[in-house]
């Protein structure tokens, strides 16, 4: 595997058009307003991963920190940039960032059928701690709840 060289930085509102492009084929795509709202969240953190050479955005991650818990709300990697370690590097960055903010547990949910994401999270140390029956709509599907103790 050729590991993509990245620059990871906080997301700015000017990044939204590029992230919307990247999101077009995502399973639970967010709208422009949703991204704007999330950027305004006082408890939120948002990071983008850019190709070091071209500076184009390859991935984005959104999360929130409340007290000593973090939640990863969204992680998406552009289709053409997958399987090059981008998702792992961005997730690792967010976990390390959360750790510096005093987070002790990091949580996330994902569709039960999303094996690629589950394997990515397990690789970074997340473990399955439960399921939520029929949590997702269109199509209806169970959610797997994962946790990382930092």
Ligand X SMILES: CC(C)(COP(=O)(O)OP(=O)(O)OC[C@H]1O[C@@H](n2cnc3c(N)ncnc32)[C@H](O)[C@@H]1OP(=O)(O)O)[C@@H](O)C(=O)NCCC(=O)NCCS
Binding residues for ligand X, per CB under 6 A? 1, 26-27, 75-77, 82-88, 110, 114-117, 119-120, 123
Looking at the Cβ atoms of 37 and 79, the one nearer to ligand X is 79
Backbone angles phi, psi at 29, to 5 degrees: -65, 140
Residue number with CB closer to ligand X (65 or 86): 86
Omega within 30 of 0 (cis) for the link into 85 = no
57 exposed, middle or buried (CB, 10 Å; 0-12, 13-18, 19+)? buried
In angstroms, rounded to a whole number, what is the distance separating the alpha carbons of residues 87 and 102? 23
Work out how close the CB of 112 gets to ligand X at its nearest, in angstroms, rounded to a whole number. 11
Minimum CB distance to ligand X, residue 67 (Å)? 23
- Identity of the residue, 16 or 85, whose beta carbon is nearer to ligand X in the bound complex: 85
Smallest separation (angstroms) from ligand X to the CB of 126? 11
Contact 71, 64 (CB under 8 A): yes
Kindly state the greatest CA–CA separation across the chain.
43
Closer by beta carbon to ligand X, 29 or else 102? 29
Give the nearest distance from C-beta 3 to ligand X in angstroms: 9
């Amino acid at each position: 595997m050729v590991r993509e060289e990245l620059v990871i930085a906080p997301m700015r509102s000017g990044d939204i058009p590029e992230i919307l492009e990247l999101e077009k084929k995502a399973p639970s795509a967010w709208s422009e307003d949703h991204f704007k709202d999330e950027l305004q969240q006082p408890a939120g953190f948002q990071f983008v991963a850019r190709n070091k050479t071209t500076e184009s955005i390859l991935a984005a991650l959104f999360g929130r920190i409340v007290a000593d818990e973090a939640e990863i709300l969204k992680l998406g990697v552009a289709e053409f940039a997958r399987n090059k370690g981008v998702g792992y590097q961005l997730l690792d960055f967010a976990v390390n960032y959360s750790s510096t903010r005093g987070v002790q547990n990091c949580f996330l949910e994902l569709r039960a059928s999303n094996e690629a994401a589950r394997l990515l999270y397990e690789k970074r140390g997340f473990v399955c701690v439960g399921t939520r029956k029929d949590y997702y709509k269109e199509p209806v599907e169970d959610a797997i709840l994962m946790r990382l103790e930092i």
